[in-house]
Chain A
Amino acid sequence: MESAPLSSESLDSATTPVRRSKRSKALLISLVAPLLLAGCKVPSFGAFSGASKTSNDVFKLWQGFSIAAIIIGGLTLALILWAVFRYRKRSDEIPKQTQYNVPLEIIYTIVPIVIVIGLFTATVVVENKVVSNPTPQATVDATAFQWGWKFTYPGHKAVVVGQTTQTPALVMPAGQDVRINLVSSDVVHGFYVPQFNFSRYAQPGMTNTFTFNISKPGVYPGQCSQLCGLYHSLMYFKVIVLPPASYQAWLALKDASTSTADAAAAALANSLGTSARVPTNPSGTNYGVK
């Protein structure tokens, strides 16, 4: 980058630092600008920002990967398009038969390795948060079956069960570590809640355990993500996140087998102002489900 006449001997000491500092300022700005932007507003790149601290970390990882992908992909695409437009045939002359440029090839081997190590490090940091299982404040056993879900609460009589268009609700307290023990009673299903930025297989003969800590009360749609047979498309559920006191009240109502408990919980969650209303089959078709 240094232009030829710029050497410390030929220039007086007064101008050099100015130039240097100007240049380093520009460099600093170009380095910090993305970070500043990150502080203000980085686009979501289409993903959900996440309903919990952990899922928000996953979202930030997503943003980081997206920025890297756009920079690398953009540069590569620019190189492709430049080559395509700049080097289109202009004469019958045979061009220089360049076959190797070892330093260049080493650079485009090493730089991607460094980027990969960076992406991997960020991955491991976030991954450890996502898969950590702290001592829970509430536990829910979830069982997937063809084609619906059953949610039970160890130590309680509360049971929520529903299939296909009934959309059963998993009720959990907000702001607490909630452990989910997930299993399937038949084939492989997928427990997927888009706004938690999370999915996990429900498998027969094998219990998967994971923890949510959802900060914001509300209703979050979920559905089976792994093909499980005929009515896979309709295997919906929802997660209702209530303030802890309301959750305890709901649990007591369920233990007393009060039939209106779920409706009350849903109404409460909706009244708490949620961005995630769960629409329920506006068409009303039941697709021949028996």
Chain B
Amino acid sequence: MKNACPSGCVAADVLALAGRWALGGFFIYMGLNKAADPVAFLKLVRQYDLFPTPLLLNGVAALLPWFEVFCGALLIAGIAVRGAALVVAALLVPFSLAILGRALDLGSAQGIPLCAVKFDCGCGTGEVNACRKLVENTLWTALALWLAWSRHGRRWCLHPELWGGR
């Protein structure tokens, strides 16, 4: 078979499939949680004080949840996998930096260490421990980058690349 997986790579492909589905499922779950109550998400995004105009703030709060669902669906279906994984990684990095900045501010204001800070980061799961969330995001980012750069993750896909066919 022309495109047969060389010996030893099946396990990596299975791992990539599991990772793709986990990452995609995570993004769909988080996105739908936010989309279910956009006003609550809007208030949480506002707390970061990152967006100087209502249009930017509203745009992020209104569009990001659905964009996350879209990216998650691409990963699960296996469509443009590397591009989707790259976009997901590009989302996770600024998310994590924003969470770190906010957690440091809260920790400073409350006089507690970073890893004792608990707050609703607007991530879609309610109140979280800042350190745990940062570790979790780092692992998701690593997985997304691996999917983006790896040769694996293209089996069992509907359309792994937008150009060039299957």
Whether A and B are associated in the same complex: the answer reads: no
Interface residues of A (CB under 8 A from B): none
Report B's interface with A, CB cutoff 8 A: none
